[in-house]
Structure formats: C-alpha cells, structure tokens
Amino acid sequence: MVQPGARLRALMKQGCVALPGAFNGLVGRLVAEAGFDGCYVSGGAVSAAVGCPDIGLLTLEGFTRVIHDVTTSSGLPCIADADTGFGEGEMVTKTVWEYHRAGAAGLHIEDQVFPKRCGHLDGKALIPTIDMAAKVGRARRASDACSDGTFIVCARTDARAVEGMQAAVARAKAYVEAGADMIFPEGLHTESEFAEFASHMKGLRGDAPDGGPFLLANMTEFGKTPMLPLSTYAMMGYHCVIFPVTTLRVAMKPVQEMLATLREKGTVEEWLPKMYSRQELYSSLRYTPGVEWTYPSKTKE
C-alpha cells in the first residue's frame, strides 16, 4: 500500500493540487466525489465546527479524530493543520506520529507564539527562528521514524505580517535546512509577493520538480490574500493550494438563512428544492437501504 504522503508527493510532481477543506468525514466524501485528488483539514474550520474560535483550543486527539474520519471516508491524501505543534519538543514528535496513524499525508506547523491566531489577522507574534527550526527538526526525525520519511513536514511562517518579506524568506530557508519538505508562506498580500517568495525557494534542498521544497499557498476568503485561481499559483511555482474554510462558509450561510425561515414561518417547505436530499446523501455514503454496508466504503480507493 502506498503511503498517503508518497501519493501526495507524486501528485504534486505532476501539477498544482487543489486541496479543499474537509471539516468532517461527510465533507471529505463530497470532496472525493467531486473529483479532487486531495483534501485539507483546517484548524480554523474544525474549531468553528465545534463552536470555538481558531485560537488553539482543540486538543491533539480532537484533530486526529477528524483527520481519521476524513481520510477514512474520502480515501484521499490529506494535509492537516497542526497549529504550533500542540506544545514543544516531544509533543511535536507525538503529533507527527498521531497524524500519520490517523491517515494524514502530512501536516504543517507554524512559527507563531501560542496561543496562536488566524494567519490573516493582525497582532500575531512569532517564536525565535531557532526554536521553530528545532520543532521542524523534531518533526523531520519523527517522519523518518514513522513513515520512512514519506509523511510530509510542512513549515508555515507568519513572518510576512510581523517581520516583513525578507524575514519570511530567511525563516523559510532555515526551516528547509532543518528538514521541512514543504513551506507555507502565510498572509502574503499580492500575486507578486507569492512569485517573489517562490523564486527564493528554488535553489534550496528539496524534492519539488523544479528544485527546492514543495510550496503550499492558502486561498482563504476575506483575508490578506487576493482571490487567485489555481492556474496562477501553478504558474508561480506552487505545488498545492488549500481552500481551508470554503466548504464551511458555503455550508453555514444557507443554514443560517434556513433557520431564520423556520423561526419566522414554522416550516422549511420552501427549502426542500435547495436541500441535499435523502437519495443524494445515501449516494455519497454508498448506502442502499436493505443492502449490507461495509466499513469504511471509501469514496476513492
């Protein structure tokens, strides 16, 4: 069986991979059903789905439960958010092992001070570069031990908003030297900044097709980054693009509107044509009433 990390690496060598966010197993199924080759588990979306802000409140176990549900239901390779690594030193090691056991293809850890905040908010603070590099080194050794190095270690830097672009590049280079397979520059403001950052990565160590580490871009809505298509990121040298909270946002707006209708009218009959029907649900679940359903019945094998 090919390890999830190896599968995603192979896909990224063929082209830029779109990774829609999946905040539970059913959304993971829908991502696979729509024809995507991978998915993403966002800390912001998972936190919101349990009614909490994205400030590092969820536990390692809370994340791995969602990762397991998403990867088991979808059959897709998945990159998962690990915030600041759930602690120092040995917790970073444990996080890699537990994410790998849960089925993730890789994770990203960030260089913010805990408690962290969303990467597109102001007021962030960073830990020293040497401390983050030590975390990356821990993650690298854990990946080597648990997956023969196939599990992807992605280092996210939030330095653009705190210390400037040059510092973001310098930090990324240090993280690559420490063992990162992939770099995630968070909160870049323009297309030219993405292109500039990518150009600095090409001469570094790494397995990306054009040299250097793999690069991840964050296409979140309502943030610092302009809305850019996947093709533009591919042209600039990025190997995967996450859409972290998109599925949650488009799902919850109709829920909010439907609840207002129910409160006002006492019925949701007008919403029936807009609903995900019973038959559509059963189809996504690969379930036929009266026929034995076999676990896990992944959407993609």
Report the pLDDT value the prediction gives residue 115, as an integer from 0 to 100.
67
pLDDT lower than 70: segments of the chain: 115-123
Report the pLDDT value the prediction gives residue 118, as an integer from 0 to 100.
65
Report the pLDDT value the prediction gives residue 124, as an integer from 0 to 100.
76
pTM beyond 0.85:
yes
Domain range summary for the chain, segments of one domain joined by +: 4-250
Report the pLDDT value the prediction gives residue 123, as an integer from 0 to 100.
65
Report the pLDDT value the prediction gives residue 55, as an integer from 0 to 100.
85
Q: Which residues contact 64 (CB under 8 A, 6 or more apart)?
A: 98, 99, 101, 102
* Number of DSSP helices (H) and strands (E) in the chain, helices first: 12, 8
List the CATH code of the domain at 4-250: 3.20.20.60
The whole-angstrom separation of Cα 158 and Cα 119 is 7
- Residue range 61-73, pLDDT digits in tens: 999 999 999 999 9
The whole-angstrom separation of Cα 57 and Cα 116 is 10
Residues marked active site are found at 40, 54, 81, 83, 108, 110, 118, 156, 186, 218
